[in-house]
Amino acid sequence: MDRQMDKIFLYGMKADTLIGVYDWERERKQTLILDLEISVPERTGTSDNIGDTIHYGEVCEVVRRSLAEQDFLLLETLAEHIAQLILNDFGAAKVRVRIVKPGILPDVAQVGIEIERTRE
């Protein structure tokens, strides 16, 4: 029988990091837009205790700090990094990470990636 899961989300979160494979992309940090969906056990809504859930303010702070301190070539690697960070550091059961790299291609509104990972 499947456990029911609720989710918290952060949509439109901005974070700066050095990302890209081209030299011109690596000259300065770029602002990415992240959408995160993090599954939490259903019971978190019944206790009214922050310790029984995942503190989304802390998630935001940890993700931004991690991206500011590192650099990546590929969005795929960056998305995997964020997913593992949330699964491992916050004990999430499941996470969906969507990253948009705005303004990178002419006449393309959004370029990005979306992944979903589950804790094993």
Q: What pLDDT does residue 49 have?
A: 75
Per-residue pLDDT for 78 more than 70? Answer: yes
Q: What pLDDT does residue 14 have?
A: 97
When divided into structural domains, the chain yields a total of: 1
Only one residue has tokens 């959408």, namely 35
Among 23, 34, 37, 9, CA closest to 110 = 34
What is residue 93's DSSP assignment?
Answer: S
Split at pLDDT 50, 70, 90, the class of 82 is very high
Which CATH number is 94's domain given? 3.30.1130.10
Per-residue pLDDT for 25 more than 90? Answer: no
Q: What pLDDT does residue 42 have?
A: 67
Per-residue pLDDT for 1 more than 50? Answer: no
pTM (two decimals): 0.89
Active site residue 101: yes
**Mean pLDDT of the residues in the chain:** 90
Residue 100: which residues within 8 A CB-CB, separation 6 or more?
32, 33, 34, 35, 110, 111, 112
Range of the domain at 53: 5-118
Angle between helices 75-90 and 56-69 (to 10 degrees): 140
CA–CA dist 35, 32 (Å, integer): 10
Per-residue pLDDT for 3 more than 80? Answer: no
What is residue 20's DSSP assignment?
Answer: -
User: Tokens at residue 92, please?
Assistant: 């999430």
Q: What pLDDT does residue 4 have?
A: 64
Question: Which one is predicted more confidently, 84 or 2?
Answer: 84
